[in-house]
Amino acid sequence: MKTTLSLISITLFSFCATRCGNNKQEENTTPIEVTDTIHQQKDTVVIEEDDETSYKLPSALQIAYVSKKSGAPFNESILNKTENLSRYNTSNYKRAVNFGVYSSDLANCLFNKKYQESKRYLKALTETGATLGLKQAFESDKLAERFDKNISNEDTLVQIVSNVQLKTDNLFEQNKQKHITVIAFTGAWIESIYIANQAYELQKNKKIHSSICEQLTFTKTLIKALEATKLKEPEMPELLNAISEINNAFNNIPSVKSATENDRELNFDKMKFTDTDMIPTMELVKTLRTKMIN
C-alpha cells in the first residue's frame, strides 16, 4: 500500500511539475484559463486577459529600412556611442529606452553595409538585452558566430537580426513586458528621427524630409500605447508628456494643420513646408534624445 501511495504521489508531483509549474521549461507554452480575472487562485492557473485594444508599433529594422530608402547617408559620429552602455544599468526605463536607441543604430549600420560597426552595436544590444531578461534571444543559435560568418552579406545579416527581433518579441510577451516594448520603440523611433534629421540638415533632401514626417505620424499610436502603460515605470508619464509635445509641435505646422483640419490625406511629398516649419519639432526630438542617452 505504501508503495502504491508513493507511486501515485510521484506521478502526481511529476504531472503537476510539468503541467502547472516551471516556466523555464515551458516558456513558450501558455496554459489559458477560462476566467479573465487577474488573481492567482488556489490550485488553478489564472492568466491575465489582454486589453480590449492593443497597439503594434514597427521594429527598429523597418524604420531604418524606410529611412535608408529615402537616401539618408550614413554618419557614424552621430550614433549613440557604445561606450555609453555602462551608464544605462540604472533603471528599467533607461535600459529599455537605450535598447531601442542601440537597435536603431544597429539597423542603420546594417542597411548601410557597415558590418564591423554592426557587430559592435549587436554586442551593445546583447549586453543591454541581458539586463532586460532577453539573454536567451541573443545567446541562442550561436548568434555571434553566425553574424561573423556572414559579415558581408546584408540579406543574411538582416535575416539574423530579424530572428533575434522575433525572439525578443516572444520573450517580452512571455514576461508580460509590453510596456518595455513601447519604451524601446520610443528610443528607436527618436534615434531614427534624430539621425534622419541630421542628414536632412546637411542635404536638404526632400525625400528625407518626407520620411521624417512619415515617422512623425506614428506619434498618434505611440501616445495611446504610452497612455495604456504609463503607470508601469515611474519615468513613463514624463516620456508621454515629451511625446505629446512633439506631436503638438508637428501638428501645428501650418500645412499639416490645414490638411488635418480639412480631413485631407497627408501627402508629404506634395505638401509645402518652409525651412523653419520643422524647427520646434526637431528641437524637442533633440532634447528628448539627449536626455535618453545621458
Partner 1 sequence: MKKYINLTCALIVFISTTSFQNGDILCDSKTLKEKAKSALGPYKYDSSELTRIIYKKTETVKEIEIPLFIGEKYRFIFNLEAIPKNIEVQIYNKDKDSKNRKLLFSSKDGGLDRKELQWEVSKVRQVYINYIIPPTEDGSYSGCAVFMIGYK
SS3 for 259?
helix
Which residues within the stretch 168-207 sit at the binding site for partner 1 (CB under 8 A)? 169-170, 173-174
Q: How far is the CB of 31 from partner 1 (least distance, A)?
A: 6
Cell numbers at residue 83, please?
Answer: 561606450
Does the footprint of partner 1 cover residue 255 (CB under 8 A)?
no
- What torsion do the CA atoms of 70, 108, 80, 286 make, to the nearest 10 degrees? 20
Does the footprint of partner 1 cover residue 275 (CB under 8 A)?
no
Answer for the pair 172, 185: CB distance below 8 angstroms, yes or no. Answer: no
- Whose Cβ is closer to partner 1: residue 45's or residue 279's? 45
Q: How far is the CB of 131 from partner 1 (least distance, A)?
A: 22
Does the footprint of partner 1 cover residue 135 (CB under 8 A)?
no
Query: Angle at which helices 60-69 and 206-216 pack, to 10 degrees?
Result: 150
Answer for the pair 134, 171: CB distance below 8 angstroms, yes or no. Answer: yes
- Whose Cβ is closer to partner 1: residue 57's or residue 85's? 57
Does the footprint of partner 1 cover residue 151 (CB under 8 A)?
no
SS3 for 69?
helix
Phi, psi of 72 (to 5 degrees): -65, 125
Does the footprint of partner 1 cover residue 158 (CB under 8 A)?
yes
| Sign, Cα dihedral of 74, 76, 80, 82 | positive
Burial of 222 (0-12, 13-18, 19+ CB in 10 A): buried
- Whose Cβ is closer to partner 1: residue 131's or residue 221's? 221
- Whose Cβ is closer to partner 1: residue 34's or residue 40's? 34
Count the alpha carbons within 13 Å of 210 in the hemisphere toward its beta carbon: 15
Which residues within the stretch 87-116 sit at the binding site for partner 1 (CB under 8 A)? none
Cell numbers at residue 121, please?
Answer: 552595436
- Whose Cβ is closer to partner 1: residue 10's or residue 279's? 10
Does the footprint of partner 1 cover residue 218 (CB under 8 A)?
yes
Answer for the pair 35, 46: CB distance below 8 angstroms, yes or no. Answer: yes
- Between CA 262 and CA 289, with CA 283 as vertex, the angle to 5 degrees is 115
- Using the contact rule CB under 8 A, the part of the chain among 4-12, 115-123, 190-198, 251-259 near partner 1 is 4-12
Which residues within the stretch 26-85 sit at the binding site for partner 1 (CB under 8 A)? 28-36, 47, 49-50, 52-59, 61-62, 65-66, 69
- Give me the residues that bind partner 1 (CB under 8 A), please: 3-4, 7-8, 11-12, 15, 19, 28-36, 47, 49-50, 52-59, 61-62, 65-66, 69, 158-159, 162-163, 165-166, 169-170, 173-174, 214, 217-218, 220-221, 224, 266
